[in-house]
Amino acid sequence: MLIQPVVLSGGSGTRLWPLSREKYPKQLLPLIGEDSLLQATVRRVEGIAGVQLAPPMIVCNEEYRFVIAEQMRLMGKKGDIVLEPIGRNTAPALTLAALAAMRDGGDPILLVMPADHVILDTPAFQSVVRQGAALAHDGAVVTFGITPDSPETGYGYIQTGPASGQGDAFRIARFVEKPDHATAQAYLDDGTYLWNSGLFMMRASVWLAAIEACRSDILKACRTAWDQGSSDGEFLRVDPQAFAQCPADSIDYAVMERIAAGGFALPSGMVIPLSAGWSDVGAWDALWKVLPKDSDGNVLQGDVLLHDCRNTLAMSAGRLLACIGVDDLVVVETPDAVLISHKDKTQEVKKIVDRLKSEGRSEGQLHRKVFRPWGSYDGVDGGDRFLVKRIIVNPGACLSLQMHHHRAEHWIVVRGTARVTREESTYLVSENESTFIPLGTRHRLENPGRLPLEMIEVQSGSYLGEDDIVRFEDVYGR
């Protein structure tokens, strides 16, 4: 029995601002432990007894491809990365994954997992996956419902029907939308309702048959985009124009609710209860619930000092963060923003992000440290007509051959050795040496060494925006 892990890495995680940003969302962050949420999702399926695992497949926005590839490389993992030119929600994403899984004539069982969820009890998760695999092998579409422990209004619910007679599985009676508090309490008291986790299992061919029966327009657009796509090493690209014609819809709306309702020539829908310390970490209060706490209920990460505080989440990305006499607060420090919120109001962080976007402020989209396929840069300081950056170039990596219309650049090597191309000449710059790139000069920066290259770049000119780049050659296809 071959299981194909499929990790859906969409979404921007705006309610976890300022750690999560649109250009570097929460699934790429190490919020719990050293692994990012995406890496933890991939590791979660390792070692499931009695099954054969295919290399993981990740479906993600094209913008995140190099960061995700690097995170997989750091894990020593290889697998396909299916690139979406634009987001179209989970049903098209899963359809692309099914097409990719069957491209060599196979028909594996897809284990579909969001990249940004937390599951603390891996053995319990793997146990229900083994149960789900047996049902999926026989043609069912399986989802996993989280056993609720509170009247949660932030999740959709699944009502269980009759027991299937196979392990702990139930037939799905219906899906229901996020309820108000009174309705959520009634669901909890009823005992037949589970939280909708967004975890699924089914054979690839079963999903394609189901999406064709329910939303043939989605299948048609995805198949056209897939057929007109291309392979670029580990990246599987679909045709952007064809995929742009695909309607947006979720797995639940497109297929699962219709399976539950019946009336179609569709596979049976099953739900298996899951109690494994699951959370979608959709907001700061949810993260507080799953992180280890001190004797006063506080969660501390980074350089943090608390005095006379209770039930507070305090996280520092760098500077000393001190809190005195506060209860039930969320305090999050990053190099360019600080969030202070009552724990009961963390769902409203999105309103701050929306305001940042409407005012055209970069803090809603980017961190001060920005990751690029070749490494990263950090905007250390800036003022009228100058900008200072700390640049890290990965071993063997190179920036594009480029030119700027409005700025000159002065590079100082702090660690490592740089190979610099300036017009027709190429030369090395070592530690404690510098070079100057005049305005309008074609240039390229490379790291020929085996260690990261660290530099300080001082830009000067009339305009210092990132869009003042004319690329002539680029190994990353930008």
Q: For the segment 201-234, what is each residue's pLDDT rounded down to a tens digit? A: 999 999 999 999 999 999 999 999 999 999 987 8
Does a structural domain hold residue 361?
A: no
Q: Share the mean pLDDT of the chain.
A: 94
Q: Reply yes or no on whether the pLDDT at 442 is more than 90.
A: yes
What dihedral angle (degrees, nearest 10) is formed by the CA atoms of 167, 168, 172, 177?
A: -160
The C-alpha R_g of the chain, in whole angstroms, comes to 25
Name every residue whose Cβ is closer than 8 Å to that of residue 311 and which is 6 or more positions away in sequence: 288, 296, 297, 298, 327, 328, 343
pLDDT for 261 equals 78
Neighbours of 49 (CB within 10 A): 8
Q: Reply yes or no on whether the pLDDT at 13 is more than 80.
A: no
pLDDT tier, 51 (very low <50, low <70, confident <90, very high otherwise): confident
pLDDT tier, 476 (very low <50, low <70, confident <90, very high otherwise): confident
Same domain for 258 and 386: no
Domain final residue, candidates 355, 384, 402: 355
Same domain for 173 and 78: yes
Read off the pLDDT of residues 64-121 as tens digits, 9 standing for 90 and up: 888 999 999 999 998 999 999 999 999 999 999 999 999 989 999 999 999 999 999 9
Same domain for 18 and 72: yes
Q: Reply yes or no on whether the pLDDT at 183 is more than 90.
A: yes
CATH of the domain at 405: 2.60.120.10
Same domain for 323 and 387: no
Same domain for 206 and 174: yes
Q: Reply yes or no on whether the pLDDT at 265 is more than 80.
A: no
Same domain for 432 and 335: no
Count Cβ neighbours within 10 Å for each residue of 457-471 and write b for 16 or more, e otherwise: bbbebeebeeebeee
pLDDT for 30 equals 94
Same domain for 325 and 251: no
Percentage, residues of the chain above pLDDT 70: 99
pLDDT tier, 164 (very low <50, low <70, confident <90, very high otherwise): confident
Does a structural domain hold residue 348?
A: yes
Q: Reply yes or no on whether the pLDDT at 54 is more than 70.
A: yes
pLDDT for 419 equals 97
Q: Reply yes or no on whether the pLDDT at 478 is more than 80.
A: no
pLDDT for 475 equals 86
pLDDT for 62 equals 87
Does a structural domain hold residue 285?
A: no
pLDDT tier, 264 (very low <50, low <70, confident <90, very high otherwise): low
246-250, 361-365, 404-408, 434-438, range with the lowest pLDDT? 361-365
Same domain for 310 and 176: no
CA separation, residue 364 to residues 337, 358, 367, 370 (Å)? 10, 10, 8, 13
User: What is the arithmetic mean of pLDDT over 363-370?
Assistant: 90
Q: Which residue has the higher pLDDT, 143 or 11?
A: 143
pLDDT for 166 equals 81
Q: Which residue has the higher pLDDT, 264 or 173?
A: 173
CATH of the domain at 33: 3.90.550.10
Same domain for 383 and 299: no
Instruction: State the residue range of the domain holding 405.
Output: 369-473
Does a structural domain hold residue 262?
A: yes
pLDDT for 207 equals 97
Q: How many domains does the chain have?
A: 3
Q: Reply yes or no on whether the pLDDT at 311 is more than 90.
A: yes
Does a structural domain hold residue 49?
A: yes
Q: Reply yes or no on whether the pLDDT at 43 is more than 90.
A: yes
Does a structural domain hold residue 154?
A: yes
* Residues pairing with 413 in the sheet: 455
108 with 2: CB under 8 angstroms? yes
330 with 347: CB under 8 angstroms? no
Same domain for 140 and 10: yes
Same domain for 250 and 180: yes
Q: Reply yes or no on whether the pLDDT at 477 is more than 80.
A: no
Does a structural domain hold residue 287?
A: no
pLDDT for 263 equals 62
Does a structural domain hold residue 284?
A: no
Same domain for 333 and 433: no
User: What is the arithmetic mean of pLDDT over 412-436?
Assistant: 97
Token pair of 350 as six digits: 């999105």
Q: Reply yes or no on whether the pLDDT at 190 is more than 70.
A: yes
For 7, the enclosing helix (H) or strand (E) is strand 2-9
pLDDT tier, 452 (very low <50, low <70, confident <90, very high otherwise): very high
Domain final residue, candidates 301, 333, 355: 355
pLDDT for 266 equals 75
